[in-house]
Amino acid sequence: MITAIVLIKANVHHIPETAQAVANIAGVTEVYSCAGDIDLIAKVRVRQHDDIAQVVTDSINRLDGVESTSTHIAFREYSNADVDAGFDIGN
């Protein structure tokens, strides 16, 4: 699976509705509202790189309330278990 993180600038008057609309898109696994320069962060998981264009360009970018997006492709995923294993010296 390919993971993409999509930073979304949204219309401030419609953030909850926009977040739910993004969450309803196939391929979007999580959506977070957040403070700072970005209003929403979406995690996208798809099988092929071409599918990212379908989710982001053809779906997320066309939603009412979405003003702009910035997409970042993940190379590797780390979890707490992975980090803990890296520090385990066999004790």
DSSP string, 24-35: TSTTEEEEEE-S
pLDDT along the chain (91 residues), means of 10: 97 97 98 96 96 97 98 90 61 54
**Ramachandran quadrant class, 60 (left: phi over 0; alpha: psi -120 to 50; beta: rest):** alpha
pTM reported for the whole predicted model:
0.85
Nearest-angstrom CA–CA distance, 44 and 51: 10
Q: What is the DSSP string of 2-44?
A: EEEEEEEEE-GGGHHHHHHHHHTSTTEEEEEE-SSS-SEEEEE
In CATH, the number for domain 2-87 is: 3.30.70.920
